[in-house]
Amino acid sequence: MLPRRIPPVLGPISLRGLVDASTTLIAPSVTADAASNRLRDIFRERTVTVMASGTAALAGALESARLTHRPATSPWSVALPAWGCPDLGAAAIATGADIHLYDLDPLALEPDLASLRSCLQQGARSVVLVHFFGRIVDPAPVAALAREFGVPLIEDAAQAAGASLDGVPAGGLAEWGILSFGRGKGCNAGGGGALISTHPIEGDRESSASSAGDWVILCKAAATSILGHPRLYWLPASFPGLGLGETRYHPLAESRRVSRVTLALLPHVLASVGPLAQARREQLTRWRVMLEDADVALPAPMGSRVLEGALRFPVLMSPADAVALGRYGVARSYPRCLGDYTPIRARLRDLPRCPGAEELAARLHTLPTHQYVTEADRLAVVRAVSGTKR
């Protein structure tokens, strides 16, 4: 019997979507129109721009915010969370921005407002707010602070597919929002991203369709969907060279061109975002109930105003306890603070002490919430970490 290993996150793509994408490559005719129109149906009365990646979309949001607000101070600078994906820093660096880092509440995964205020007092001219793992951060307190200092707020909803606040989808809660359509983001279209804005986007930001490497992208999209099955995932997971689960700094590529595969897949995957997110929420609820007496620290439940994307369930636990749980999809997430990456450190205005971010780098792990997690899997994890709460 084949060994069983659960992926930390799943990016399923329907067979019909893969067929449509392959047909498009045989008889090229796809444009960004269908994907953009579907996004405009979701984010009404907003400008929608499909781009090459979520990182490119964040860079586009930073550039658009700078052009719109035209600050007198120079150079442009941005306040980023001190912990998270290093692509946050790569997007800022690609725009020539300097970087301030603000701390996070390690359980709520929300900005520490005192730390963020310090960044703004030191001259940060924009703020990026991140929804980690599908948990919605209410932007109201951060937006009020940004208004006090006259700076724009950018919402990074790359991990928040299927999440909403008061019925407004993540990505539409601030002046600028960004989405990602990568493998591990809850809306897998083989890559790409989108910039959502209340402002017209100055300049030519719309990415035209590219045919370069389309067959490779299609094969990778199909492979990630198929090999995500627990009876097959051990195969890619056994090759260290693939870098699965690793967090590395990558500079933003110059190309803004979107693969035709992404454009063909997007209408299909966007249609499935809601049902998949609902299924993940149900899994997350089961995890929360079973872990109440385990030796892990759980984030507080979201309020009634929120529909979580539930991409993964973040918990604080000892790395030693998690070592043997990789087969169940338990994964260490972002084991370094942003200031620990050399290219990001070189652009920092200051390197503040951020204890919340340091705790997240040391102890934050995520539990899988996708369809392949069984009751037996949850029981095995709970038994391994059972004990008295910290």
Cis peptide bond N-terminal to 75, omega within 30: yes
Which structure tokens are listed for 358? Answer: 């340091």
What is the length of the chain?
A: 390
The C-alpha atoms of residue 246 and residue 248 are separated, in whole angstroms, by 6
Per-residue pLDDT for 77 more than 90? yes
Residues 6+ apart with CB under 8 A from 258: 32, 50, 51, 52, 191, 192, 207, 208, 209, 210
Q: What is the mean pLDDT of residues 263-279?
A: 92
What is the pLDDT, as a whole number, of residue 390? 39
What is the pLDDT, as a whole number, of residue 204? 44
Per-residue pLDDT for 346 more than 70? yes
How does pLDDT run across 220-239, given as a tens digit for each residue?
A: 888 888 888 999 888 888 77
Reported confidence tier of residue 1, pLDDT bands at 50, 70, 90? low
DSSP per-residue string spanning 147-189? HHHT--EEEE-TT-TT-EETTEETTSSSSEEEEE-STTTTS-S
Per-residue pLDDT for 388 more than 50? no
The C-alpha atoms of residue 74 and residue 24 are separated, in whole angstroms, by 46
Q: What is the mean pLDDT of residues 7-23?
A: 87
Q: Using DSSP, state whether 129 is helix, strand or coil.
A: strand
Average pLDDT, the chain: 89
Q: Point out which residues pair with 105 in neighbouring strands.
A: 110
Q: What is the mean pLDDT of residues 316-335?
A: 91
What is the pLDDT, as a whole number, of residue 118? 97
How does pLDDT run across 123-167, given as a tens digit for each residue?
A: 999 999 999 999 999 999 999 999 999 999 999 999 999 999 999
Cβ atoms of residues 209 and 261 within 8 Å? no
Per-residue pLDDT for 95 more than 60? yes
Per-residue pLDDT for 30 more than 70? no
Helices (H), 43-160: 54-69, 87-94, 113-121, 140-149
Cβ atoms of residues 191 and 217 within 8 Å? yes
Residues 6+ apart with CB under 8 A from 118: 102, 352
Helix (H) or strand (E) holding 100: strand 98-102
% the chain with pLDDT above 90: 64
Domain regions of the chain by residue span: 15-236+247-384
What is the pLDDT, as a whole number, of residue 209? 52
What is the pLDDT, as a whole number, of residue 28? 64
CATH class of the domain defined by 15-236+247-384: alpha beta
- Which has the minimum average pLDDT: 37-46, 72-81, 197-206, 315-324? 197-206
Reported confidence tier of residue 389, pLDDT bands at 50, 70, 90? very low
Q: What is the mean pLDDT of residues 356-375?
A: 96
